[in-house]
C-alpha cells in the first residue's frame, strides 16, 4: 500500500565525509549517499552546511577556484541527483561580490532556489562574518546561464506534492527569533536545517533540546544534518549530529563521530501535524508573516510502500518500563489532588465509593487512599460499599472484601437482589435478562451510593474509565454519574498498568496479592447471573478488545484520523494478533458506539484530565448528541 496516500513522507538527514576545498569529491560523496536513499523511497534529503566546500574552508572562501568549483559541483548534482528533493550547503557569490552561505534546493533536474543563512555567529570559536553577509535583506532574482532563473531569499518555501518545507541554516536555529518560526507560520510543515555545529561538553544535549522544542513550538517536523569529523579539527571537532523530530518527539538520531558519514531517515506524519495546527488555536491565531514565495518541487508525493515508522499498540502507555513508573506517579498525583480539592470544596467528611472487585473501582479506591493522605485524613473517612446483586460472582466479591481488608478500610455490604426484584415486579417486568434487568441493578447501586453519601456528608467517587465513556459502555444516570469521577480520562489499557505498578511498588503483600487477582479477573459489568459462580458476561466479547478500542480512540481524538487511516495504522500495528476482518469489525463497533452514545458524555460529572485525550463535555470534546454515523459506517464497510 502506498502510505504517501495517508500523508506520510520519508525524509533523511545525511552527513557525508568532506574533503575541504574539493567540491568535486564532495559532490561525489553526496551522490554516493543519495543513491541508496532514492531506492528506499526517501523524498527529501538534507546535507550539512557548506558540504560542497567544507564548512572549515576559512579564507579559501575568498578564492575564485573554490567558488567556481562549488558551482561546477552544484551543476553536477542538479544533473545527476537521483532523489525527488536534495538540499545541500554551498557558498554563493552574488553579482555585486557579496558572499552568501546558502542552502541549494535541487529537484527535477533543476536548481529550485537558494536560501541564505540569516544569522552568522561571530563569537567564541566562530567568525563567520569574516566571509559571509547575512541573508536577512537578500531578495535576489538570479538569472544564470547554467541554472536559469533562481530566487535567492529567506522568505521562500518549497512544495512537494502539497507538503511545504522551509529552510534555516545552523545558527539561525540558535537565534532569539528563528527563521523556522516565520517559515512555519507561512505554511512549512517541515523545517530543514543544514548545520555545522561543533562538539563541546553537553552541547549535544542542548542541541537536542533546541531541535526538539523548535519542532514542538512550531508544530512541525525538523530535519537536522550537521557537519562531521572530516571537517578541520584544528581548533574544534564536529560530530555529524543528525536528528529528525516531529512536534517534540524524536523520530531518529544518528551516531556521532562517524568518519565514513552517517544517515538517519524517518517517515513524517504530515496529517498529524496539520491536525495539531488546526486544533491549536495559539498557533492558528498567531499573525502570519508577509506572503512567502512558493516554489514547486513536484506535483505529487513520491510513493512510500513500506512504512518504516511503527505505531505502538498501546498509545496511552509508555513503551519504556522506567517511564511507566514516572507516568503512574504523575497520573495518580493528578487524580488524588483533584479529588482532595473537590472534597475540601464540598466540605465533605467522607469519600463514598462502590467497590465491585473489578479493575476500574480498584484504581479509584487506591486514588481515594492517596487523596485522604493528601488531606491528612485517616482511612476511616473512606466509605467502601459493595452491593452484590444477581450478576455478582464469587471471585469479584472475594476481591472486594480482601481489597478493603488489606488496607484496613471498613467495607459495608448492601445486597441489592431483593430491591431489584421488587423494582422489576413494580414495573411488571417479564423476568427476562434484558436491558431493563441489567440497568435496574446499575441504577439501584447508584441510588444507594448517593443516598449513603447524603447520610454521611460524603462525596460519591466515580469509577468509569475513558474507554467505557468512549464506547458508551455505561448505564445512563447510573455508573455514568458520580460527584467526581477520578478515572474519567484514564483509558482501560492504562488502568491495568497503574494497578500493576501500584501493586509492585506501593502495596503490602496482601494488597499486592489481591491487585494481581483483580488484574486476572475478566472485565465484566456483572449484570447477568454467573454460571456456577463464575463470570458469565465478558465485556470484550461483546464490544471488542479494549486494546483495539484505545488505539482507535487515540488516533481519532488525538489526530482526527479517518476510519480508513485508523484501519491502515491498526492493520500494521496489530499484524499477527488481529486479522483485517477483526479490525474492521471492531472499528465499526467503535464508531457506531462512539457517535451514538454522546448523550451519555454530554452530562458527565467533573473529573481530572490526566492526558492529551479527554472526553469532558466542558473542555476537550464537544459534539452534538445527534451526530450522524451512517456515512462513517459505510466508509468502513467499503475498506
Give the separation between CA 393 and CA 414, rounded to whole angstroms.
Answer: 15
Q: Which residue has the cell 503512574?
A: 328
Secondary structure of residue 614 in the 3-state scheme:
coil
49 as an active site residue: the answer is yes
User: How close are the terminal C-alpha atoms of the chain, in Å?
Assistant: 13
Secondary structure string (H, E, C) spanning 450-464: HHHHHHHCEEEEECC
Close Cβ partners of 100 (under 8 Å, ≥ 6 residues apart) = 91, 92, 93, 94, 114, 116, 117, 132, 133, 135, 138, 152
Secondary structure of residue 473 in the 3-state scheme:
coil
Give the separation between CA 183 and CA 175, rounded to whole angstroms.
Answer: 15
The set of cell numbers assigned to 103 is 542552502
Give the separation between CA 390 and CA 625, rounded to whole angstroms.
Answer: 32
Which of 15, 49, 438, 474 does the annotation list as catalytic?
49
The DSSP line for 194-253 is EE--B--TTHHHHHHHHHHHHHHHTTSEEEEEE--TTS--SS--B----EEEETTEEEEE
Q: Which helix (H) or strand (E) holds 30?
A: helix 23-39
Q: For the chain, what is the largest distance between any 2 Cα atoms, rounded to a whole number of angstroms?
A: 100
The set of cell numbers assigned to 244 is 529528525
Q: Which residue has the cell 476482518?
A: 581
| Contact between 464 and 495 (Cβ < 8 Å) | no
The set of cell numbers assigned to 608 is 481530572
Within a 13 Å sphere around the CA of 623, how many CA atoms are in the beta-carbon half? Answer: 20
Beta bridge partners, 447, equal none
Chain centroid to CA 389: 42
Beta bridge partners, 329, equal none
Give the separation between CA 349 and CA 170, rounded to whole angstroms.
Answer: 60
The set of cell numbers assigned to 95 is 553579482
Residue 199: which of 232, 238, 173, 167 has the closest Cα? 238
170 as an active site residue: the answer is yes
| Contact between 225 and 242 (Cβ < 8 Å) | yes
Q: Which residue has the cell 578541520?
A: 232
Beta bridge partners, 91, equal 101
Which of 152, 170, 220, 368 does the annotation list as catalytic?
170
Residue 555: which of 569, 540, 573, 575 has the closest Cα? 569
Which of 15, 70, 117, 253 does the annotation list as catalytic?
117
Residue 316: Cβ within 10 Å count:
26
Sign of dihedral through CA atoms 464, 470, 475, 476?
A: positive
Close Cβ partners of 376 (under 8 Å, ≥ 6 residues apart) = none
DSSP H helices, 346-465, are 359-374, 394-407, 417-426, 435-456
Give the separation between CA 536 and CA 539, rounded to whole angstroms.
Answer: 10
The set of cell numbers assigned to 88 is 545541500
Q: Which residue has the cell 518504516?
A: 308
The 8-class DSSP code of residue 8 comes to: E
Give the separation between CA 122 and CA 228, rounded to whole angstroms.
Answer: 21
For 22-124, where are the E strands, in sequence order?
44-46, 85-93, 99-107, 110-116
User: Looking at the annotation, which residues are catalytic?
Assistant: 49, 117, 170
Amino acid at each position: 500500500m502506498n502510505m504517501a496516500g495517508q500523508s506520510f513522507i520519508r525524509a533523511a538527514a545525511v552527513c557525508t565525509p568532506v574533503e575541504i576545498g574539493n567540491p568535486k569529491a564532495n559532490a561525489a560523496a553526496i551522490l554516493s549517499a543519495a543513491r541508496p536513499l532514492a531506492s528506499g523511497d526517501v523524498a527529501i534529503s538534507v546535507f550539512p552546511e557548506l558540504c560542497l566546500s567544507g564548512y572549515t574552508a576559512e579564507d579559501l572562501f575568498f578564492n575564485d577556484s573554490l567558488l567556481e568549483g562549488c558551482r561546477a559541483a552544484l551543476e553536477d548534482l542538479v544533473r545527476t541527483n537521483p532523489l525527488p528533493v536534495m538540499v545541500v550547503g554551498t557558498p554563493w557569490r552574488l553579482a555585486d561580490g557579496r558572499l552568501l552561505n546558502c542552502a541549494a534546493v535541487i529537484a527535477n533536474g533543476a536548481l529550485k532556489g537558494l536560501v541564505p543563512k540569516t544569522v552568522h555567529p561571530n563569537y567564541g570559536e566562530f567568525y563567520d562574518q569574516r566571509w559571509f553577509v547575512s541573508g536577512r535583506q537578500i531578495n535576489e532574482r538570479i538569472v544564470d546561464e547554467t541554472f536559469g532563473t533562481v530566487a535567492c531569499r529567506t522568505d521562500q518555501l518549497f512544495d512537494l506534492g502539497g507538503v511545504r518545507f522551509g529552510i534555516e541554516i545552523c545558527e539561525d536555529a540558535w537565534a532569539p527569533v528563528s527563521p523556522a518560526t516565520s517559515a512555519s507560520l507561512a505554511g512549512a510543515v517541515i523545517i530543514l536545517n543544514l548545520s555545522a555545529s561543533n562538539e563541546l561538553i553537553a552541547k549535544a544535549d542542548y542541541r537536542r533540546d533546541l531541535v526538539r522544542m523548535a519542532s514542538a513550538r512550531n508544530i512541525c517536523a525538523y530535519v537536522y544534518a550537521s557537519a562531521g569529523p572530516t571537517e578541520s579539527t584544528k581548533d574544534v571537532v564536529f560530530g555529524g549530529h543528525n536528528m529528525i523530530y516531529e512536534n517534540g518527539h524524536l523520530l531518529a538520531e544518528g551516531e556521532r563521530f562517524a568518519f565514513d558519514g552517517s544517515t538517519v531517515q524517518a517517515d513524517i506524519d504530515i496529517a498529524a501535524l496539520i491536525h495539531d495546527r488546526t486544533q491549536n488555536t495559539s498557533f492558528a491565531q498567531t499573525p502570519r508573516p508577509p506572503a512567502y514565495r512558493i516554489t514547486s518541487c513536484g506535483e505529487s508525493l513520491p510513493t512510500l510502500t513500506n512504512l518504516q515508522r511503527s505505531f505502538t499498540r498501546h498509545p496511552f502507555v509508555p513503551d519504556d518500563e522506567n517511564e511507566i513508573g514516572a507516568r503512574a506517579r504523575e497520573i495518580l498525583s493528578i487524580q488524588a489532588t483533584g479529588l482532595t480539592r473537590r472534597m475540601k470544596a464540598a466540605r465533605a467528611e467522607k469519600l463514598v465509593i462502590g467497590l465491585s472487585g473489578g479493575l476500574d473501582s480498584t484504581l479509584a479506591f487506591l486514588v481515594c487512599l492517596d487523596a485522604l493522605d493528601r488531606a491528612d485524613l485517616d482511612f476511616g473517612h473512606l466509605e467502601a460499599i459493595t452491593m452484590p446483586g444477581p450478576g455478582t460472582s464469587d471471585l469479584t466479591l472475594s476481591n472486594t472484601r480482601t481489597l478493603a481488608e488489606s488496607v484496613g478500610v471498613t467495607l459495608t455490604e448492601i445486597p441489592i437482589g431483593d430491591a431489584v426484584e421488587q423494582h422489576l415486579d413494580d414495573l411488571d417486568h417479564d423476568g427476562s435478562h434484558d436491558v431493563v434487568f441489567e440497568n435496574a441493578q446499575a441504577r439501584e447501586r447508584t441510588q444507594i451510593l448517593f443516598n449513603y453519601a447524603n447520610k454521611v456528608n460524603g462525596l460519591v467517587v466515580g469509577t468509569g474509565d475513558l474507554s467505557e465513556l468512549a464506547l458508551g459502555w455505561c448505564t445512563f444516570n447510573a455508573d455514568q454519574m458520580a460527584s467526581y469521577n477520578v478515572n474519567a480520562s484514564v483509558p482501560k489499557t492504562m488502568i491495568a498498568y497503574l494497578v500493576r505498578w501500584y501493586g509492585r511498588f506501593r502495596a503490602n503483600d496482601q494488597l499486592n496479592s489481591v491487585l494481581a487477582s483483580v488484574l486476572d479477573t475478566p472485565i465484566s459489568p456483572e449484570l447477568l447471573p454467573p454460571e456456577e459462580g463464575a463470570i458469565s458476561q465478558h465485556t470484550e466479547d461483546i464490544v471488542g478488545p479494549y486494546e483495539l478500542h484505545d488505539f482507535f480512540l487515540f488516533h481519532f481524538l488525538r489526530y482526527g484520523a479517518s476510519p480508513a487511516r485508523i484501519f491502515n495504522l491498526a492493520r500494521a500495528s496489530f499484524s499477527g494478533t488481529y486479522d483485517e476482518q477483526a479490525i474492521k469489525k471492531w472499528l465499526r463497533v467503535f464508531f457506531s458506539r462512539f457517535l451514538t452514545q454522546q448523550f451519555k458524555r454530554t452530562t458527565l460529572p467533573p473529573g481530572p484530565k490526566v492526558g492529551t485525550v479527554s472526553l469532558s463535555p466542558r473542555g476537550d470534546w464537544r459534539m452534538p448528541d445527534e451526530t450522524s454515523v451512517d456515512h462513517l459506517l459505510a466508509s468502513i464497510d467499503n475498506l
